[in-house]
Amino acid sequence: MTLTLSVSDDVRALAPGFTHVAIEAHGLVNGPSSQASSELLDDAARRLAVRLDGRAPHQDPHMAAWRETYTAFGSKPSRTRNSAEALARRALSESGLPRVNLLVDLYNTVSVAHLIPVGGEDFDRIEGGMRLIRATGEEDFVTVAGGEETVEHPDAGEVVWRDGAGVTCRRWNWRQGPRTRLTEGTTSGIFLLESLAPMPVAEVAAAAAELAELLARFSPGADIAVRAPESCA
């Protein structure tokens, strides 16, 4: 079964240069971070440093475009950074990139190396299709605070990903909810790469191809399908 992904008209109007590529994968093998996935993350940090050539992540034109878009829907990009900028800052810090689990390490590798937001969701935990919308403010976002499950609500007008049960990621690609995140027991996933102009669509496609190759390498025999880029241009 192919997961349906849709972008609402009001999000298209907000960000006409938005492009996303989805990778659907079944038969995955996940587990703890390994030496091999750790080495990939270290190499991604080196690739990022070359790409930035001494600049801060937010000075990259692609990250600047995300900051402008976050501001347009009422978010403060210096406080709630898009996922790629947040990871890039960690990659360049003394603490370095987190090691989460094998699948998360793989998509974080591609996110940092290409400076593009990448997310992964457990296919089997998604209810219905996924939609990128501007929230009414009444949607439920189930998260964890202080070790306890709690329900938050996005701001009215905030861009969120949601499925039939509620919000899966707030502020576009800022904070993922625990309900659909990839765990060590995940065997099917949907991976989403997101970009804004001025990043060329060809670079988004290249990043998706790299992630698909990594998934195939670490999960031999997995059924992996890369969808064509979908642009709002």
Q: What is the pLDDT of residue 103?
A: 98
The CATH number for 142's domain is 3.50.40.10
- Mean of pLDDT values over 90-116: 97
Rounded alpha-carbon distances, angstroms, from residue 107 to 44, 93, 210: 11, 19, 10
Q: What is the pLDDT of residue 156?
A: 97
Residues in Cβ contact with 43 at an 8 Å cutoff, skipping those fewer than 6 apart: 109, 113
* pLDDT classification of 2: cutoffs 50, 70, 90: confident
Q: pLDDT tens across 148-180, in order? A: 889 999 999 999 999 999 999 999 999 999 999
Question: For the chain, where are the alpha helices, taking DSSP H only?
Answer: 9-14, 35-52, 61-72, 83-91, 102-114, 201-218
- Mean of pLDDT values over 197-208: 97
- The total of structural domains in the chain comes to 1
pTM, rounded to two decimals? 0.96
The boundaries of the domain holding residue 197 are 5-231
